[in-house]
Structure 1
Amino acid sequence: MVNALLVLRKKPYYMKKQVGLKEKSLSILVPCYNEQTIMDTTILGINHVNYRNYEYILINDGSTDQTFERMAELLDLEVQKIKPHPGLEFASVHGVYRSRRNPRIIVIDKVNGGKADALNAGIAYASSELVVTLDADSILDEQALPIINRAFTDPQLIAAGGNVHILQGRKFENNVLKPTMVVKTIVKFQILEYLKGFFIYKASLAKSNALSIISGAFGVFKRDVLLEVGGYRKTVGEDIDITLKVQNFRNGRKGLKVAFIPEAICYTEVPETWRDLFKQRIRWQKGFIDCVVLYMKEFIPNLFRHPLSFFFILDAFFAGIVCAFLTVAGFIFTLFYHNDLSVLLLYLTVYIAVSLLYNVIAILISYFYQNSFSVKDLLNIMLVLVLDIVFFRLLTLFYTLYGTIQYFQNKDEWNKVARTGRAYHLEQAG
C-alpha cells in the first residue's frame, strides 16, 4: 500500500504533452479460440482505435465454432502472401488474409495449438517494432495507444503492462465512460479485486522492478525482445511465463526497464457465473504454480540480488501459496485444539482491519486516476467491502488451495470461460 501510494508523487513522463511526436508502428495481436459470440464487439472495438500507425492481427487458433466464418463475414477477407519471420515455432497456418474493409486488419487462420502458440504465430507475422497483446474480449480505451506511444519514447523500456478495467462495470454518462456498480454481485467482487490488483499490487511491484505478470488482457513488448527470449512457452500461464522471461532478459542487461502504465486502459469481460469464475481462477493458479516449478531453481540463488526473485519467492509463493495452507491449518488448530480463542479473535481483528484498509486505499488511488464512483455506488461498495472480507477473500483462498493441488493432478486442462456475447459498444452507443 505504501509503495503504491509513493507512485502517485510524480507525474510520469508519458503523461506530458509531446508536440509533433511520431506514432510508432504497433502490431496488435488478438488470439481467438471459439470467440464467435464476441467477434462483433472485438471488430467494432478495432474500428474505434484512436491511432493510425497500427496493424491488428486476429489469430484464429483452430476454432471449432463459427469464429473464422464470422471474421470473414464482417471483414470481407482476401488471401495474402505474407512470409513469417523465422525463429519461432507454431502450429501450421491454413492461410493469411487481409480485410478489404479495413486493410489494417490481418487474419491468421491456423491449426489449434493453444494461446501461446497463437501468440507466437502473431509475433512471426507481425511487422512492427512494438507488439501489443490483447484478449479477444479486450476493448482499448481511446487514449491507450497514444499513451503507450509516449511511454515507449524511453529507449530503455522493453515491456509494459497496461491497466485492466472490467467491461461490465462501465457505462456512458453525458458522453463520458464512467464506472458503475449496477452489475451482478459476482462482478462487483471482481471490480474491487481488479482495483486492488492493478492500482496497488502491480503498481507496487513495478516500482520495485519486480513485476512478475504483464496481464494477457493488455501487454506491450518490443518484438525483438520476444524473439530473443524464444517467444511464448506452451503453458496455462503464458502471461506470467513471458513476463518472467522478459524480466530475466532485463536483469542481464543494465538499464532496461519493464513498467506498469496505469493510465493506459483496456476493458475486459469477466465471468458472470460462479462456475466460470471457478474455472478461470483454477487456470490462473495452475499457470502460477507451473512457473514456480520452472523458475524456482533460478530464483533462489538470486533471492537477495534481484527484486523480482525476492518478491516472487517471498511474496507471491510463500505469502500467497504456502501461507494459504498454513492459514487453514492454523485456523483449524486454533479452533479445535487451542483452549484460548483470544488468539483467533486477535487474528480475525487484524485480518479485518488490514483488509478494510487495503480495499479503501485501492479505491482512493483509483480516484487519482479519474476512476470516480457516484455516491450511490460508494454506498454499494461499502457493502461489497464487508462481503469481500467475510466471503470473497475466503473463496479466493479456496481457489488457491484447490488450484495448487489440481496442478499436480491435471496441469494441462484449459477450462475456457464462456463469453456473454454482449455487443458492448452497441449498448454504450445507445
Structure 2
Amino acid sequence: MTVELKQEKKALESPALKSAISKATFRLMPMLVILYIVAFLDRTNVGFAEAALEADRGISSGAYALGAGIFFIGYAIFEIPSNLMMKKVGAKFWLARIAITWGIVSACFAFVQGDASFIALRFLLGVTEAGLFPGVIMYLAEWFPNKHRVKMFAIFYLAQPFSQVIGSPLSGWLINIGDKVPGVHGWQVMFFVEGSLAIIAGIFAFFLLIDGPQKAKWLRQDEKDALTEAMNQEDTIKKESGPSGVRAALTNGRVWYFTIIYFCLQIAVYGVTFYLPQQVAQLTGQKVGMAVGLLAAVPWFFGMFACILIGRYATTVIRRRVLGTWLFVSTGLCIIGSAWAGANNLPAMGIIFITLAVCSFLAIGPITWSYPTAFLTGTAAAAGIGLINSLGNLGGFVAPIMRNSINETFASESGAMGIVALGILPFVAALMMWGTRRFKSKADDLLEK
C-alpha cells in the first residue's frame, strides 16, 4: 500500500470524522427511513385491495397486473430528470416535494372507478414518486464515506421490511374498520389514510433534512471540515476512475452492468411483494384482512434483522461480492421453493420459503448499491444512479405481467408456474455479482480493513 493511500485511510478514521458520521446517522437516517417506509407502503398496498377492486369496481386480473406494473413506466421515464433537478435545487426541497405529490396521488386511489382510472393513477404514482429512492442514494453518497455507506444503505433498506411489518397489519386493519363505515369501502379508507401519511412525511422532511455537511448546525466546525474533506477525497478518486458528466454515465459499461443486476433483483422483489397478501391468503385458506396482514408481516420482520446483520458484516469488497452472490442464489431457490410449497398445499413451508426469500433480497440491496456509488459522482451520479434505478425498476413492471401471462399460458390454477419463472432471474444476477471482481479500483483499497 502506498504512503498516500495510508494517509487517506488514516484520515477516514479520525475522531472528528467518526463523530460527524455518528451525528449525521442520528439526525438524517430516521427521516429518510420514514420517507421510504411511506413510499414502499403506498406502492405495494395495492396488493391488499386486489380482490376488493375486482369485486367493487370490476377491475380484471389483467388490468390489475398492468396497473401494478405501469407504476414503473412513469417511474422510469422521470427518474433521471428528477435526479438532475435534485442536483440543481437541493435534496431538502426536492425530496419533500416528491413525498407530498405522490401522497396526493396515492390518496386519490380512494376514488378509483374502473380499469382506466386505476391504471392512470398507478402511472401518475410512478411519475410523482420518481427520484425518491435514487435521490436518497445520492444524498447518502454525499454524506457518508464509502466504508460506512453499506451500513447506511442497510439502515435505509430497513424501511422496506418495516413498512410491511407495520403496513401489512395497518392496511388490513384499515380495510376492516373501513368496511364498517357507511357509504365507503375499506380499501378506500386504506388508500386515503396511507396517502395522507406521505403528505405529512414530506412536510417534516423539508424541515429536518440538510443540504450538505457545511449547512448542518448540529456539527462542530472540525466535524464539518473532516466530513467534507473525506467526501472530497472520495470524489477525487471517483473522477479519476469513473465517468464524468451525464452522457458518459449513460454510456458507461459498468453502469449498464449494474442496471441488469438491479433489474433481476427487482423482478424478485416485486414478483413477491405485489402478490404476497394473496399468496399468504391462498396458503392459509383465509380472506385478506387483519389476520392475513399479520401473517404477511412475518417475512418482513425477519428481513429487518437480515438487513442489519449483512450491513454490519459487508465492510469489504470481497465480503460484498461473496455475500451478494450467495444471497441472489438463495433468493431464487426460495422463490421457487415457495411455489413448490403452494402447489403441494404446505402452508408452513410456503411461509418459511417466502420469509427466506424476503430476507435474501432485502440484504442484497445495500450491497448492490455500494458498487455504483463507489465510482459515480456529480452529475454522472445523478444520471448513472437514475439510470440503474429507473431501468432496473422496470423489473417491477415486468414481474406481475410475466407472472400473470405464464400462469395463463400453462393454465396454472395455483399460480406456481408464474412464481417459478420469477425465481430464475436471481441466478443470472448471482453470476453477474460474482463477476464484479473485475471492477477493483483505488476506491476499493480504501474499503479494505
| TM > 0.5 | no
TM-score by length of structure 2 reads 0.22
Q: Counting helix residues as a fraction of each chain, which structure ranks higher?
A: 2
Structure with more strand by fraction = 1
How high is the TM-score relative to the length of structure 1?
0.23
